[in-house]
C-alpha cells in the first residue's frame, strides 16, 4: 500500500494525525510502529490538543532533518541552517496547498471544503514524499 493510502487508512482507523503520519514512515525510520505511535501521541490536534501549529509540518521537518539534512555531528553541528531551510520550504508548501498551518484554521477550512484531516494528511505525505525523492 502506498503512503498516501496508508495515512488515510490509519487516520480513519483512529490514529491521530501525528500517529498516522509518522507511522507511514516506519519503514525508513527503522523504529517499531508501536514506539512511533506512543512517541507522537501528544502531538495530535494541533500539538497536545491546543489546535495551534499542525503536527504535519513539524513531523515533515523532523523527518527531513533525520533522513536528509542533519549531519548528526554532536561535537560540531553544522547542518542546522540547511535543516531549517528545508523544514521552512516544506511548511510553506503545506500552507500553500492546505491553506493554513494552524490546526484551528485547518479545521475551519476542512469544514468549508467538506473534507476531513485524512485528506490533509494525504497531501502532507505527498509533499514530503516529493521532497524525499
Q: In the chain, what are the domain boundaries? A: 3-132
Q: What are the Cα distances from residue 94, in Å, to 59, 88, 89, 90, 102?
A: 12, 10, 9, 6, 11
**Residue 5 CB contacts under 8 Å (≥ 6 apart), including other chains:** none
| Residues 10, 20: Cα–Cα separation, whole Å | 5
Q: What are the Cα distances from residue 1, in Å, to 5, 10, 27, 104, 112?
A: 7, 12, 12, 30, 30
pLDDT band at 133 (very low <50, low <70, confident <90, very high): confident
- When the pLDDT of each residue in the chain is averaged and rounded to a whole number, the result is 96
**Residue 114 CB contacts under 8 Å (≥ 6 apart), including other chains:** none
Residue-wise pLDDT for 29-74, tens only, equals 989 999 999 999 999 999 999 999 999 999 999 999 999 999 999 9
Q: Is residue 110 scored above 90 in pLDDT?
A: yes
Q: Using an 8 Å Cβ cutoff, are 104 and 52 in contact?
A: yes
Q: What is this structure's pTM?
A: 0.93
Amino acid at each position: 500500500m502506498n503512503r498516501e493510502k496508508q495515512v488515510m487508512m490509519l487516520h480513519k482507523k483512529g490514529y491521530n494525525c501525528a500517529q498516522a503520519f509518522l507511522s507511514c514512515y516506519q519503514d525508513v525510520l527503522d523504529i517499531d510502529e508501536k514506539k512511533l505511535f506512543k512517541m507522537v501521541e501528544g502531538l495530535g490536534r494541533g500539538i497536545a490538543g491546543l489546535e495551534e501549529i499542525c503536527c504535519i509540518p513539524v513531523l515533515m521537518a523532523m523527518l527531513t532533518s533525520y533522513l536528509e539534512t542533519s549531519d548528526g555531528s554532536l561535537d560540531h553541528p553544522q547542518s542546522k541552517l540547511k535543516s531549517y531551510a528545508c523544514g521552512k520550504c516544506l511548511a510553506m508548501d503545506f500552507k500553500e496547498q492546505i491553506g493554513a498551518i494552524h490546526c484551528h484554521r485547518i479545521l475551519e477550512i476542512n469544514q468549508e471544503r467538506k473534507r476531513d484531516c485524512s485528506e490533509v494528511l494525504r497531501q502532507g505525505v505527498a509533499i514530503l514524499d516529493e521532497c524525499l525523492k
